[in-house]
Structure 1
Amino acid sequence: MARSHPVDVHVGARMRQRRTLLGMSQEKLGTAVGLTFQQIQKYERGSNRIGSSRLYEFAKVLDVPVSYFFDEMPSNALSGRPMSGRGRKGFGEAGTPFEQEKDPLIKRETLELVRAYYKIREGRVRKRIFEMVKAVGAASHAEVLGGRKR
């Protein structure tokens, strides 16, 4: 069984991140570029490669430069090739930079929080909420660290 190339996985994750941030469904994105939502799912998982012309279409619909899809790519993404399922460790397994479940930036919760945050029209209110979240996070982090020292 063939595995996805790490670059395809990264590009797909960036596409999903941007689509979700915009509040766009897979179906709506698919319709905009003439694809089914199932095809969008395969692109977002990295199981299908995205050709350059298709990537350009996605960039236009998602209102980002094509380079956006390659931003924040781990430096070792191109150091290897995807491996077949012959007992060798492949990409996307525990311990690799593609262990997406642990990346808070691509979680739906994070993207929904950011969308909701930017819906707040009053800049002063938004800034106070930002400061409050930072303070709660810092207090929580300090509490965890304090618990470890005991």
Structure 2
Amino acid sequence: MKEEPHSVDVHVGKTIRIQRLLRKVSQTELGDRVGVTFQQIQKYEKGSNRVSASMLVEIAGALKVDVRTFFDDLSTPDTANDNTAPSEEFVISREGVLLNAAFFSIKNEALRKKILKLVQAIAKTGELDTEAAE
């Protein structure tokens, strides 16, 4: 019987994936930068293989992030909840990360707020409301 990945390993793996996608780096490219295969990067991202401290430092350097980034928002083991909500699943998905990056690349804050209101209106009604879009 295979053991489930530890919640910390899953969290670190998800964070590696998010940071990699935000920087538009493929698993192969990240693997090449740190000296492992893309399959190993996949296992790290799923949390099925633990990332050693030295490899975490290598990955942080390859992605140009502070190594502490991988532990941001980490729950303590007593409060960790292994059930990921559907909204969290979207946020860490490729589409979610790319949507987030595209949204925050819009420099005009007023435009971002209008886009947010439009999306909220669409979600509320299930269809495009022309008044909400204005």
TM-score class normalised by the smaller sequence? 0.7 to 0.9
Q: In structure 2, the residue corresponding to 1:111 is in which secondary structure?
A: helix
Task: Give ranges in structure 1 of 5+ residues lacking alignment.
Answer: 81-90, 145-150
CA contact (8 A) 1:74 1:97 kept: no
**More off after superposition, 31-40 vs 64-73:** 64-73
Q: Aligned equivalents of 1:4 and 1:27: distance in 2?
A: 23
Shift, 1:32, TM fit: 0.1
CA contact (8 A) 1:10 1:98 kept: no
Shift, 1:99, TM fit: 1.9
CA contact (8 A) 2:13 2:46 kept: yes
Give the number of equivalent residue pairs.
124
Residue 67 of structure 2 corresponds to 66
Matched, 1:135 2:117: yes
Residue 87 of structure 1 corresponds to none
CA contact (8 A) 1:8 1:49 kept: yes
Letter paired with 1:135: K
Shift, 1:74, TM fit: 2.7
Residue 5 of structure 1 corresponds to 6
The change in CA–CA distance for 1:107 and 1:48 in structure 2 (over 3 A counts) is same
CA contact (8 A) 2:11 2:47 kept: yes
Q: Please report the RMSD computed on the Cα atoms of aligned residues, expressed in angstroms.
A: 2.4
Q: Aligned equivalents of 1:100 and 1:31: distance in 2?
A: 32
Shift, 1:54, TM fit: 0.5
- Give the TM-score normalised by structure 2: 0.79
Spell out, residue by residue over 1:93-142, the C-alpha distance to the aligned partner (whole angstroms, 9 max, x if none): xxx4442654032121121123334555xx34xx3431222111332355
Higher relative contact order (CA 8 A, sep 6+): 1
CA contact (8 A) 1:6 1:98 kept: no
Identity %, equivalent residues: 37
Letter paired with 2:99: L
Letter paired with 1:79: D
- Give the TM-score normalised by structure 1: 0.71
The change in CA–CA distance for 1:97 and 1:129 in structure 2 (over 3 A counts) is farther
The change in CA–CA distance for 1:48 and 1:60 in structure 2 (over 3 A counts) is same
The change in CA–CA distance for 1:65 and 1:111 in structure 2 (over 3 A counts) is same
